[in-house]
Structure 1
Amino acid sequence: MQRNTEDLMTALAPMFARVEPRLQAAKYVRAVMSDLPKRNGWTIAEWVGDRSPDATQRLLSRASWDTPGVMSAVRRFATSRLDAAARPDSLIVGALDESGQEKKGTATAGVKRQHMGCAGGIDNGINTVHLAYVRAGAGHALIGARQWIPAEQISDPVKAITTGLPLEVRFATKGELAIDLLVDAYADDVRLDFVAGDEVYGACPALRAFLEERGQAYVLRIRATFTLTLGAGTCLTCEQIVAKYCKQKRTWTIRSAGDGSKGERTYAWAWIATADTTHYLLVRKHRTTGELAFHYCFIPAGRPVTLALLVAVAGLRWPVEECFEFGKDLFGLDESQVRLYQAILRHTVLVMAALAICATSAAQARRRTDTQAPPPTSPDQRPPAEPGMVPLTVAEIKRLFNAATTRTPTLEHTAHWSAWRRRHQARARWFHQRTRLATAYIQLT
């Protein structure tokens, strides 16, 4: 773990014009890997031993460093280490999805009332599209991020300036942002067997066309109303295809979509070829509720394809959700208490660096720390005397690393930050009181 940390920070060094922000970035990455219950400018600065949050705030907002270059270095580090830890023939999937962060007010770059998965519906916040690198049997990490900015914020010059939007930012759908992420990944020689994504990406014709032009296989979720052309030119929606061609029980095959925390996730699956021999419809049916999910699949001509392969790819889309869970719960991905476009991106990429360090360390330890007993072969089998242990997870890697390296702050340092917070709060209260007096004076006159 320590070696991975040092190697990544060495790879990031050329992206910084001066040594001070480089050292501050290293401290920031280490702080988000800590056991802090909440990560913001104040808590990070206190944890790393700074006397005020000025250096941390300068790192995110004003310091000179190549943010895209850092993301590229994180991407190359994560993919190369996961590849080294994986079996050579294991699948590589680029999983696309977006992650939200709830925000208050209207002063943050990209903020808008929109659908937020983290909020379970419509709420005020920001959304960022991510690309995850998933190596079957080894691990996964986030390797790209682009924040979605609403068109009305880009077209408003005052809002664009106050939120720090770069001049080159243009409105793009989430599918189009996904294309940008894939272009960046391909530029870094990232090889993907498949690209996977949910309905947001399956519904984007530009993304599908981009992938097909590159000969990039994909398995993308689509809605039930998506229309496909079958043999003899018949056009049917996904729902209609299932109703017409999947009536018989023998049409469905029970297969696992991968391991979950409590065992394999098994569903009933069916696949139907379209008029174009490179495209297929993959249908997943929940074995208890009968709920259906649809996937539009592209396999370049001449490449062999089986139902088992498509099912495996569909199952490897889910790790991106785990990346978000780890990123938020363990590293503070959604705790960026900043408003400017660049500051949000810089917080995101530094969290991605922390996640990459822990994810690759877990992948490297996976085989030698997996001592689980063989799975049962019958429902009445007696439990083993020793169940063994599951391999080290990202959370356990982080916990062990912190236990081995975290230092206890001195009483003087703790007292300094107690006084700093109280002084800052007193100053803020004074300015609020003055503002209220000014408002009351205007109302009286």
Structure 2
Amino acid sequence: MTTREDQPVAVCPSVDPDGWLEAFEGLAGRLDRRFARPESRRRMRRFLRGLMAGLPRVNCWTLAEYAGEASPGGMQHFLAEAVWDDDGLRADLRDYVVERLGDPEAVFVFDETGDVKKGSMTVGVQRQYTGTAGRIENAQVAVYLTYATPTGHAFLDNALYMPRSWMADPERRRAAGVPDDLTFQTKPALARRLVETALDAGVPGRWATGDEVYGNDPALRATLARRELGYVLAVAKTHQIDTKAGRRKAIDLAVTLPATAWNRISAGSGAKGQRLYDWALIATTGQDLPGQHHLLIRRNITTGEYAFYRTHHPTPVPLATYVRVAGIRWNVEDDFQSSKELAALDEHQVRRWTSWHRWTLLAMLAHAFLAVTTARAHDTEPADGLIPLTVNEVRHLIIQLAMPRPAPAAGFVLAWSWWRRRHQARAQASHYHRQAAALQLN
């Protein structure tokens, strides 16, 4: 007999809480070897669960309370001092994503995201433009590499951008634990390093894409071409293009094209239907690199607004192929949004180099687990009238069905209330003491 409790699983065959929990334990089990002590292995599992738990606020305090620990000290030590094989764990993230989502036609997508911060001592922070806020703010900025295939997409790697102001300040670097041998690298240089690391590790892929920050960098374009990776990289309208008629601005080429040069093609499906634009392709000259090189132009069919891309591929490909790759660039925006909302990528409250890298690495692993789980669920057809499971819905179902948390005992809740209020009282007293000292000096 089918009960009411059984009914949801009966009508949603793609929902498999037991299988999801088994898959999570399988991922955690392969990560165990990267931690020196059993306590760290257990805490790694609790940390990953906490990142995905949908807590209103995520930091070492709330993670420790969610995990049933008596204080935040263990979580803080785990991030800052515990013995990890950080590079090995990063390789595990890459291998896990490729094993589940790997495809020879995959697209590497790079982009940066910023986390607004207060103060001046958090590693990498300075006043700089961040797309997250849409303006110049006091922020950290990091470059991320997304791996996108028809099956799904997830982060492969990341790199913290260290501004020149930090690189020129040894005392500040030392206080934040920045490695002594670290040198300044631009965002395109960081992207180049990330994609070359992936290619050297044997990650399959055919294309790369990114916004103007990356498309305007000739060294990145040259590296991708020499690695025989096709690319569709956005460039500014003032970007200089070499043609048979000489060097011209991209916008000047666009406005002189005849009507017959344009083709209406979808850049992919969106929430409200196909993303239709008019597209044109112009061959470029003056390249000292192998392969086919073009300027790809996109025109909005409603506003007439233009967008421009430098393209390359080792062999000739149709215009529609370049358009498809251009449309895939938005996958990284999806990953930023979902990893921040569902895996607390941006909620770290840490100041030092090691802690920042460990937090974001664990958040990328949690997000990759959600992305892979969602991709696997798509192998099972949904019931009539339902859209396929989304990453957001999978996370919700996992924390409700596969990883439910028992209600904590009253004594535990009260102990944490006491801990928080004691810490806040000490912080308040410290602020008052500093304020009084400053007034005496004045």
Equivalence for 1:385: none
Asked if structure 1 preserves the Cα contact closer than 8 Å seen for 2:294 and 2:311, the reply is yes
In 1: Cα distance, 2:301 partner to 2:25 partner = 47
For 1:339, give the aligned amino acid. Answer: R
Equivalence for 1:219: 232
Over residues 247-277 of structure 1, what are the superposed CA-to-partner deviations in whole Å (9 max), with x where a residue is unaligned?
32x2211111111122211111111112356
Equivalent positions of 1:50-129 (< 5 A) are 50-83=69-102, 91-129=105-143
Q: CA deviation at 1:432?
A: 2.1
Asked if structure 1 preserves the Cα contact closer than 8 Å seen for 2:122 and 2:350, the reply is yes
Paired residues in the alignment total 417
Asked if structure 2 preserves the Cα contact closer than 8 Å seen for 1:28 and 1:44, the reply is yes
Q: Does 1:420 align with 2:437?
A: no
Q: CA deviation at 1:183?
A: 2.1
Match of 1:253 among 240, 257, 263: 263
Over residues 278-297 of structure 1, what are the superposed CA-to-partner deviations in whole Å (9 max), with x where a residue is unaligned?
10111111111111111100
In 1: Cα distance, 2:381 partner to 2:215 partner = 38
In 1: Cα distance, 2:383 partner to 2:53 partner = 27
For 1:184, give the aligned amino acid. Answer: T
- Report the TM-score, using the length of structure 1 for normalisation: 0.91
Q: Does 1:269 align with 2:279?
A: yes
- Report the TM-score, using the length of structure 2 for normalisation: 0.91
Q: CA deviation at 1:369?
A: 3.9
Q: CA deviation at 1:20?
A: 1.7
Q: Does 1:308 align with 2:320?
A: yes
**1:370–1:198 distance in 2 versus 1, CA, 3 Å:** farther
Q: Does 1:403 align with 2:416?
A: no
Over residues 313-353 of structure 1, what are the superposed CA-to-partner deviations in whole Å (9 max), with x where a residue is unaligned?
11111100000000111111111111111111111000000
Match of 1:228 among 236, 241, 244: 241
The runs of 5 or more residues in structure 2 that have no matched partner are 1-19
Q: CA deviation at 1:371?
A: 4.9
State the identity %. Answer: 38
Q: Does 1:181 align with 2:194?
A: yes
Asked if structure 2 preserves the Cα contact closer than 8 Å seen for 1:369 and 1:389, the reply is no
In 2: Cα distance, 1:143 partner to 1:173 partner = 19
Asked if structure 2 preserves the Cα contact closer than 8 Å seen for 1:369 and 1:390, the reply is no
Asked if structure 2 preserves the Cα contact closer than 8 Å seen for 1:154 and 1:165, the reply is no
Q: Does 1:41 align with 2:60?
A: yes
Equivalent positions of 1:122-201 (< 5 A) are 122-136=136-150, 138-201=151-214
The 10-residue stretch of structure 1 (59-68 or 214-223) with the greater mean CA deviation from structure 2? 59-68
Q: What SS class does the counterpart of residue 337 from structure 1 fall into?
A: coil
In 2: Cα distance, 1:322 partner to 1:237 partner = 31
In 2: Cα distance, 1:423 partner to 1:6 partner = 36
Q: What SS class does the counterpart of residue 265 from structure 1 fall into?
A: strand
In 1: Cα distance, 2:126 partner to 2:258 partner = 44
In 2: Cα distance, 1:238 partner to 1:173 partner = 24
Asked if structure 1 preserves the Cα contact closer than 8 Å seen for 2:109 and 2:208, the reply is yes
For 1:247, give the aligned amino acid. Answer: P
Q: CA deviation at 1:370?
A: 4.1
For 1:270, give the aligned amino acid. Answer: A
Q: CA deviation at 1:26?
A: 1.6
Equivalence for 1:379: none
Q: What SS class does the counterpart of residue 408 from structure 2 fall into?
A: coil
For 2:275, give the aligned amino acid. Answer: R
Equivalence for 1:299: 313
Asked if structure 2 preserves the Cα contact closer than 8 Å seen for 1:164 and 1:341, the reply is yes
Q: What SS class does the counterpart of residue 368 from structure 1 fall into?
A: coil
Q: CA deviation at 1:25?
A: 1.7
Q: Does 1:204 align with 2:217?
A: yes
Q: CA deviation at 1:55?
A: 1.0
For 2:396, give the aligned amino acid. Answer: R
**1:414–1:369 distance in 2 versus 1, CA, 3 Å:** farther
In 2: Cα distance, 1:269 partner to 1:419 partner = 62
Q: What SS class does the counterpart of residue 362 from structure 1 fall into?
A: helix
Q: CA deviation at 1:241?
A: 1.2
Asked if structure 1 preserves the Cα contact closer than 8 Å seen for 2:128 and 2:136, the reply is yes
Asked if structure 1 preserves the Cα contact closer than 8 Å seen for 2:235 and 2:309, the reply is yes
Equivalence for 2:367: 355
Q: What SS class does the counterpart of residue 83 from structure 2 fall into?
A: coil
Aligned structure 1 segments of 4 or more residues deviating by more than 6 angstroms? none
Asked if structure 2 preserves the Cα contact closer than 8 Å seen for 1:113 and 1:123, the reply is yes
Asked if structure 2 preserves the Cα contact closer than 8 Å seen for 1:338 and 1:344, the reply is yes
Asked if structure 2 preserves the Cα contact closer than 8 Å seen for 1:131 and 1:145, the reply is yes
Over residues 342-371 of structure 1, what are the superposed CA-to-partner deviations in whole Å (9 max), with x where a residue is unaligned?
111111000000000000010111142445
Q: CA deviation at 1:168?
A: 2.0
Asked if structure 1 preserves the Cα contact closer than 8 Å seen for 2:292 and 2:316, the reply is no
Match of 1:343 among 355, 359, 380: 355
